[in-house]
Amino acid sequence: MTTSATTPAGLKPCPFCGSHDIGIAMERGAGTGIFHRGDDVYGINCRDCGGSVPNMYSRDLIIERWNARASSSRAEVERIVSLALDHCYGRAHVSEDMIQWTTDAVLSAKTLNGDQA
């Protein structure tokens, strides 16, 4: 497997420390499981504090998830929650209630942490 790292444009600052030193790493063929065996795996993290989001099988989705962490818009959080749940469980297994409950939990955690919801 090969790993490459870059600091792509268009990323929001780290939601934990505010740093702009963000890296994306890609491991070729590192995917596991029934649906993603052999797929490329992407990771993203702050090079200053180590803040990160879970690895994904899509570069575009991991960038969206990173940027959504710094967003307080309910519509944006709901869109990213929906994409993430669809990706993890498959659309057939994701209900609108599941999306709403998860969005509510994310926004509640942001409020508890002092972020604007």
Domain count, the chain: 2
Q: Is the pLDDT of residue 106 over 50?
A: yes
Tokens 């505010």 locate to 18
> How much is the pLDDT for 58?
77
Are residue 103 and residue 52 in the same domain, yes or no?
A: no
Q: Domain range for residue 103?
A: 71-117
Are residue 52 and residue 8 in the same domain, yes or no?
A: yes
Question: Sorting pLDDT into bands at 50, 70 and 90, what band is 41?
Answer: confident
Are residue 8 and residue 44 in the same domain, yes or no?
A: yes
The DSSP element (H or E) to which 93 belongs, if any, is none
- Under the phi-then-psi rule, with left for phi > 0, alpha for psi from -120 to 50, and beta for the rest, what region is 57? alpha
What is the chain's alpha carbon radius of gyration, rounded to the nearest angstrom?
15
> How much is the pLDDT for 32?
62
Q: What is the pLDDT of residues 54-104, one digit of tens each?
A: 777 778 888 888 888 555 677 877 887 888 888 778 877 888 888 888 888
> How much is the pLDDT for 40?
74
* pTM score: 0.49
Q: What one-letter code names the amino acid at 62?
A: I
